Amino acid sequence: MDRILKFCVLLTLVGLADASFTKHDFGRCEGAVRNWAHSSLDKEIREDKHTLRDLLFFLHVPRTGGRTYFHCFLKKLYPSSLECPRSYDKLHFDPSKPNCRLLVTHDDFSITSKLPRERSSVVTILRDPISRVFSTYEFSVEVAARFLVHPNLTSATRIAGRMCSKTKGVSTLDIWPWKYLVPWMRKDLFARRDSRQSRGLPIPKSNDFYDMEEFAMPLHEFINHPVAEDIVHNGATFQVAGLTNNSYAAESHEVRHCVQKYKILGKYVLQVAKVKRLDDMLYVGLTEEHKESASMFANVVGAQVISQLRAPNASMTSVDNIGHSSLSNSEPDNFEHQNSTLNSRAIETSSSEATESKMTVGDLTEAYEDCISSLRKAQTQRRFFSLKRISPVNFSTEARLQVSDAVLQQIRSLNDLDLELYEYARDLFSNQHKNVLQKLTEERWENISIMTNWKLLPSMITLVFLLSFSLTVNMRRRMLKVKM
Ligand SMILES: *[C@@H]1O[C@H](CO)[C@@H](O)[C@H](O)[C@H]1NC(C)=O
Ligand SMILES: *[C@@H]1O[C@H](CO)[C@@H](O)[C@H](O)[C@H]1NC(C)=O
Ligand SMILES: *[C@@H]1O[C@H](CO)[C@@H](O)[C@H](O)[C@H]1NC(C)=O
Ligand SMILES: *[C@@H]1O[C@H](CO)[C@@H](O)[C@H](O)[C@H]1NC(C)=O
């Protein structure tokens, strides 16, 4: 009896201590997060955020399609001599290369502490968080599967190490977050293959490619793993805020852990990400609104880069066109198959025309369309060959429909901050889009009114005719649809 009583007292005490620790811990966390938010919110408001400054920083959130912007827009605008060195090696990163004007990395916002802040413009692209998680999972598995050509994990890892040093340290395996995700998946794929081989060829239990544990880590296992918590979930918010696991700011790790532990603290991070980051950016695109985003990028960013580089004082003679880093070296994704680099020449040609010739926004858009289609072809081919190694697994948008609601719901809940940030970005985008359209229309009308109205009359008539024609056609089409 006595003993039981003592035991109960002990339990209560432990419980109390626990509760007070939790309370204390929450207080500490709240303090850390609020301090961080406060110091971020303190900074002065930017007036001229619509004007491109000397340095363009492309904050590349993984799996948002930023790579195509880099190859198909920015590489055509900037000669490689103006590209800032990328920060693969954080300890020795020195962005102060004289004259450097373009920085594209997966680094988070905290890298701006190393940049001349008042002379930098930031741009980014955001994507629907659910799609981004899917894509991150698929890409991790895809890249890791390429290593299955090797007989065992030991030799695959050795080859990978050699590949890194050969490409002077620039491959997917060096770049955050892939430097964590790919080796993790690679180890996992080899383990599953070994177990398949020892048990004979298995027949998959399900027809859901995202849940074939005999061949690859199922999606639900991926999203619940601590590594995914570290670097995948709410990844866009943390990156925009400057709080990723890859951050330059010392306090960021505590802040991030606190926000992951106490969801209620997320509101501070969101507030900073919205009004102190996205609001101040020169451009925010959306992966989903691909066409509008690209056209806006050309008109908002492209047009300004063109006129900036052409200005007399831009003074960067375009000497460096010979020393172009080839696609296979500079691009994180291309470290293997020679097959898929076939198209790289098509992608590289006509680089940085802006400095040499009279490139216009129209030319830029046209070059972009060509470039993006060859890039996409190359990507599809790579994916096909990689996934063949873990056949029957084959990821696609249709296959995603097999994934259960429970898993989707869980992804949503693990990415609550990203979902809210994405909604915010959508609003921002539609406002920006409206403004740009309005400005373009105004410019066009100004140009038109400069010309004499008489000269214009025939083309006006044609325009009106074309407009009414397309209206009729559309209407007829709609009616047909209704009938069917
Ligand atoms: C892995 O493969 C290499 C190359 O075939 C071989 O030399 C080595 O013995 C293998 N290692 C193991 C642990 O099986
Ligand atoms: C970042 O995340 C990876 C993967 O979980 C982990 O190995 C690494 O130690 C983390 N880095 C920091 C600074 O937390
Ligand atoms: C343009 O360059 C000249 C000489 O390099 C310099 O003296 C001048 O201040 C520059 N003008 C601007 C607006 O930067
Ligand atoms: C390269 O492409 C050819 C034909 O398209 C194919 O037969 C070959 O297997 C590919 N090589 C690799 C390493 O994927």
pLDDT of residue 58: 96
Return the pLDDT at 3. 65
Pocket test for ligand 2, best of 245, 256, 258, 259 (most atoms within 8 A of CB): 245
Q: Among 107-111, 226-230, 334-338, 421-425, which is the least confidently predicted range? A: 334-338
Q: Convert the pLDDT of each residue in 125-155 to its tens digit.
A: 999 999 999 999 999 999 999 999 999 999 9
Higher pLDDT, 80 or 108: 108
Report the pLDDT value the prediction gives residue 449, as an integer from 0 to 100.
64
Specify whether the CB–CB gap between 29 and 266 falls below 8 A: no
Alpha-helical regions (H) of 58-173: 66-69, 75-77, 129-145, 153-166
Length of the chain equals: 484
Question: How sure is the predictor about 95, in pLDDT bands with cuts at 50, 70 and 90?
Answer: low
Ligand nearest to C-alpha 184: 2
Q: Determine whether the shortest distance from the Cβ of 389 to ligand 4 is under 6 A.
A: no
Strand order across the beta sheet in which 283-286 lies: 102-105, 55-59, 120-126, 283-286
Assess whether the C-beta atom of 32 lies below 6 angstroms from ligand 2: no
pLDDT tens-digit series, residues 362-391: 999 999 999 999 999 999 999 999 999 999
- Residue 375 C-beta-side C-alpha neighbours within 13 Å: 22
Q: How far apart are CA 136 and CA 106, in angstroms?
A: 14
The reply to whether ligand 2 has any atom less than 6 angstroms from the CB of 184 is no
* Lowest-confidence pick of 169-173, 179-183, 351-355: 351-355
Q: How far is the CA of 461 from the centre of ligand 1 (A)?
A: 76
CB distance 230 to ligand 2 below 6 Å: yes
256 or 479: which leads in pLDDT: 256
Residue 164 Cβ inside 6 Å of ligand 2? The answer reads no
Asked if 265 and 33 touch (Cβ cutoff 8 Å), the reply is yes
Question: Is 86 an active-site residue?
Answer: no
Match 């994180």 to its residue by tokens.
Answer: 332
- Where are the chain's structural domains? 25-444
What's the pLDDT score for residue 86?
A: 74
pLDDT mean over 326-344: 34
Q: Which of 89-98, 220-229, 317-326, 398-407 has the lowest mean pLDDT?
A: 317-326
Q: Is 117 one of the catalytic residues? A: yes
pLDDT digits (tens, 9 = 90+) for 100-123: 899 999 999 999 988 888 889 999
pLDDT more than 70, % of the chain: 74
Q: Which two tokens stand for residue 261?
A: 């532990």
**3-class DSSP state of 217:** coil
Count CB atoms within 10 A of the CB of residue 377: 14
The model's confidence at residue 51, banded by pLDDT at 50, 70 and 90, is: very high
- Per-residue b or e along 213-233, where b marks 16 or more CB atoms closer than 10 Å to that residue's CB: ebbbbbbbebbeeeebebbbb
Report residue 481's pLDDT band, with 50, 70 and 90 as the boundaries: low
Q: What is the pLDDT of residue 113?
A: 87
Q: Residue 127: what pLDDT?
A: 98
Mutate-to-test residue for ligand 2 from 230, 246, 248, 259, highest number of ligand atoms within 8 A of CB: 230
pLDDT at 340: 37
Residue 104 in 3-state DSSP?
strand
pLDDT at 329 over 50: no
Whether residue 48 has pLDDT greater than 70: yes
Mean pLDDT taken over the chain: 82
pTM above 0.85, yes or no: no
3-state SS string over 292-321? Answer: HHHHHHHHHHHHHHHHHHHCHHHCCCCCCC
Q: Of 83, 138, 142, 331, which residue is the catalytic one?
A: 138
Which atom of ligand 2 lies closest to the CA of 180?
Answer: 4
Residues with CB under 6 A from ligand 1: 151-152, 154-155
Residue 324: which pLDDT band, with cuts at 50, 70 and 90? very low
Q: Which of 123-132, 191-200, 214-223, 266-275 has the lowest mean pLDDT?
A: 191-200
